[in-house]
Chain A
Amino acid sequence: MSSQESTQRSKPASYTTPDPIVEIRDAEVYFEMDRGVSRVLDNVSVDIERNEILGVVGESGSGKSMLASAMLDAVVDPGILEGTITYRPDSETAIDVLSVSKDELRKLRWEEISMVFQGAMSSFNPTMKVGGHFEETLKAHDYDVGEGMERARELLADLYLQPERVLESFPHELSGGMQQRALIALSVVLEPNVLVMDEPTAALDLLMQRSILSLLETLKEKYELSIVFITHDLPLIAELADRLAVMYAFELVEIGPSEEILRDAAHPYTRSLLNSTPNLDAPLSEMKAIEGAAPDPVNVPDGCSYHPRCPLADEECVAEDPDWRPTFTDEHQVGCFHWDQAADAIPFNIDNQGGER
């Protein structure tokens, strides 16, 4: 606790969007452990704009999944979630996700905000047919089952699956990619407005990842979804997402329109992350790992949490946690004192990031 006490964590409200469907303010998740408080989501504030795809990128263990769970108030026990999360089904109504009753929360989840987990293989009950999962979900939410199953078939067909075959199968009879697509269909069957996807393509091969991404775009248009797509694979999501948010050490460090981040990444971490990402076109010698290791959630460095690994770090970075500040445009915000020097200090190893297609 004490190490965080000294840290300034107030960041100005300049990360807002005009018509947000979900507003996350000062979201914090912590676990109390024997060796201290493990803060796995640290004061994260972000808006999800209606009908956008927001990509959340970060390395393993940077708090991405916690952010995803927080949006459904589904942080696993004994984790404690604090802050405010506001869901706006339309511009007038606002629902405080963290203070609704148990019954309302049950309705909110899946009907309004739905989620696709990493590892579809373990998201289905192994002793129940895939179709059974659809039916019980519809029944649990008092939806018309016949109509809902019609929609399920359509969804599966949209995802290039044979509806009857998939619904009649047990989960183990489907391939990983089929299960993942079936899970996406299951998460959309109640026609939610927001779909949170936590590494939905992690266990799949590259070809399947690509095809699922392109299916998502179609799905988003057809069902008017706002999507939060969480991944560690920056180039993968960059093409799909409208905006990107970069997470490091359990907080957001940069947010902005995808092309801008790819072209003019302003945070040293984002730039290093882009440089470290394997790319088929890049020779192995040009891929650079980021020196050092991600911080321990019990003991995050004072000041800017990235300073121990940052080539630009000085006393200011050690002493103080940088506020959000606009960079080249107002929508592109970064939490770094020296963002204007980042491009010179950490040049992209090949000039392919901006023009990557």
Chain B
Amino acid sequence: MALFTVWAVATLTFAMIRAMPGGPVERMVQEIATQNPAMSRREINAMVEQRLSIDPDETLTEAYISYMSGLARGDLGESTFYSDSVAEIIIQSLPWTAFVMSISILGMFILGIGLGALMAYKEGSTFDVGSSVVAIFLSSVPYYIAAIALIYVLALEWSVFPLSGRYARDVTPGFSLEFMASALYHATLPAASFIITAWGGFALGMRGNSIQVLGQDYIRVARLRGLSDRRIALRYVGRNAILPMWTSFLIIIGFMFGASIILEEIFSYRGIGFYMFDSIDRRDYPVMMGTFLVITVSVVISVLIADLTYGKIDPRVSEGGKDESY
């Protein structure tokens, strides 16, 4: 099923990318033609073919078959703009995207779950009402607006955070403390734009679930049994309230990969989204295909993980598969 999804997406992407007006060939033919008006059409074609390793006269079917067979062998092709292979570009950029995403997810999880549970415990208080309003407001702000606002205030006006890049130019990449601090520093704003706009959804979800769990009889019984408030909050309320959020939590990873395209462009953060945006601009088919596939595969994998692990963390579900008790 998961494999089929990947194949279907690859095919669709391939078709859609080829259907885009203009292509790398036209673009380059045009470029060469404007630079060397004297060249004949045949000479230009030969030159383009040599440079792009794409045969301009190849039919769509042939191109599809050659691409898919390459894909099956693990060959994503060569970039038509950069001199690197697509695989190389992905390996270079994916960890950076994953880095920003991990920070974002951790941040929105801690903030959302923590505040949501607190709001539920203080249901109806000023804190609860105030946080709900803020949470609803912030979740209705698109992340890219938050990103631009953050750049404007914190990077341009106050210069507290860097405007762009993955790490400071004078730092050499490696497992040094300096490099990691610099990377974290540069990732703060992109991650913050995600966290600020997404924690509200988590908090409101957690709040609702927690209020529901707090009304359950087993909470009352647990209190009468003299369990500590801490244990009730973690083992009873927390556990049972977070469970229903697990799936949406992993699915948001997929959403964030998609969002990284715009976000990384805003911050000129050279992650996978940045290269994808770039490749669309340059009609760089192989990079476009490759990055799109990586995003698709990540989404499929995270949904798959969500599905497979849910049964592990919720005892009621793992039974279902075995004896169809419901």
Given A127-B315, A128-B235, also A76-B220 (CB < 8 A): yes
Stretch in contact with the other chain, from B181-189, B225-233, B268-276: B225-233
Complex Cα spacing A137 to B235, Å: 13
The answer to whether B218 touches A123 (Cβ under 8 A) is: yes
The answer to whether A110 touches B236 (Cβ under 8 A) is: no
B311 to chain A, nearest CB (A): 13
Q: Indicate if A61 sits at the interface (CB-CB under 8 A).
A: no
B324 to chain A, nearest CB (A): 14
Given A125-B235, A136-B231, also A109-B314 (CB < 8 A): no
The answer to whether B221 touches A127 (Cβ under 8 A) is: no
B320 to chain A, nearest CB (A): 10
Complex Cα spacing A121 to B319, Å: 17
> Chain B residues near A1 (CB, 8 Å)?
none
A93 to chain B, nearest CB (A): 20
Q: Indicate if A57 sits at the interface (CB-CB under 8 A).
A: no
The answer to whether A126 touches B316 (Cβ under 8 A) is: yes
Q: Could you tell me which residues of chain B, from 306 to 321, have a CB within 8 Å of some CB in chain A?
A: 314-316, 319
A188 to chain B, nearest CB (A): 12
Q: Indicate if B296 sits at the interface (CB-CB under 8 A).
A: no
> Chain A residues near B225 (CB, 8 Å)?
109-110, 133, 136-137, 140, 186
Q: Indicate if A72 sits at the interface (CB-CB under 8 A).
A: yes
What's the tally of chain A residues with a CB closer than 8 Å to chain B?
27
The answer to whether B236 touches A140 (Cβ under 8 A) is: no
Complex Cα spacing A45 to B222, Å: 28
Number of A-B contacts (CB under 8 A): 65
Q: Indicate if B243 sits at the interface (CB-CB under 8 A).
A: yes
Complex Cα spacing A340 to B181, Å: 90
A105 to chain B, nearest CB (A): 9
What's the tally of chain B residues with a CB closer than 8 Å to chain A?
21
Complex Cα spacing A76 to B220, Å: 9
Where chain B touches its partner, the secondary structure class is helix
**What does the 1/0 interface line of A163-197 toward B look like (CB < 8 Å)?**
00000001011000000000000100000000000
> Chain B residues near A119 (CB, 8 Å)?
217
> Chain B residues near A170 (CB, 8 Å)?
315-316, 319
A166 to chain B, nearest CB (A): 15
The answer to whether A127 touches B319 (Cβ under 8 A) is: no
The answer to whether B218 touches A127 (Cβ under 8 A) is: no
> Chain B residues near A141 (CB, 8 Å)?
226
A54 to chain B, nearest CB (A): 20
Q: Indicate if B239 sits at the interface (CB-CB under 8 A).
A: yes
Q: Indicate if A31 sits at the interface (CB-CB under 8 A).
A: no
Closest to B217 in A: A122
Complex Cα spacing A136 to B236, Å: 12
The answer to whether B240 touches A126 (Cβ under 8 A) is: yes
Complex Cα spacing A119 to B282, Å: 66
Q: B226, B235, B243, B319: which has the most chain A beta carbons within 10 Å?
A: B226
Q: Indicate if A246 sits at the interface (CB-CB under 8 A).
A: no
Complex Cα spacing A119 to B216, Å: 11
**Choice from A106, A122, A123, A172 contacting B226 with Cβ under 8 Å:** A106
Q: Indicate if A115 sits at the interface (CB-CB under 8 A).
A: yes
Q: Indicate if B224 sits at the interface (CB-CB under 8 A).
A: yes
Given A122-B217, A123-B217, also A172-B224 (CB < 8 A): no
Known: A76-B220, A137-B226. 7 other contacts (CB 8 A): A74-B224, A107-B226, A110-B226, A133-B225, A136-B225, A136-B227, A172-B319
Q: Which residues of B contact A (CB under 8 A)?
A: 216-218, 220-222, 224-228, 231, 235-236, 239-240, 243, 314-316, 319
Identify 22 residue pairs between A and B in the complex whose beta-carbon atoms are under 8 Å apart, listed by A's number: A109-B224, A110-B224, A110-B225, A110-B226, A117-B221, A123-B221, A125-B239, A126-B316, A127-B243, A127-B315, A128-B235, A136-B227, A136-B235, A137-B226, A140-B226, A140-B228, A140-B231, A141-B226, A170-B316, A172-B316, A173-B319, A186-B225
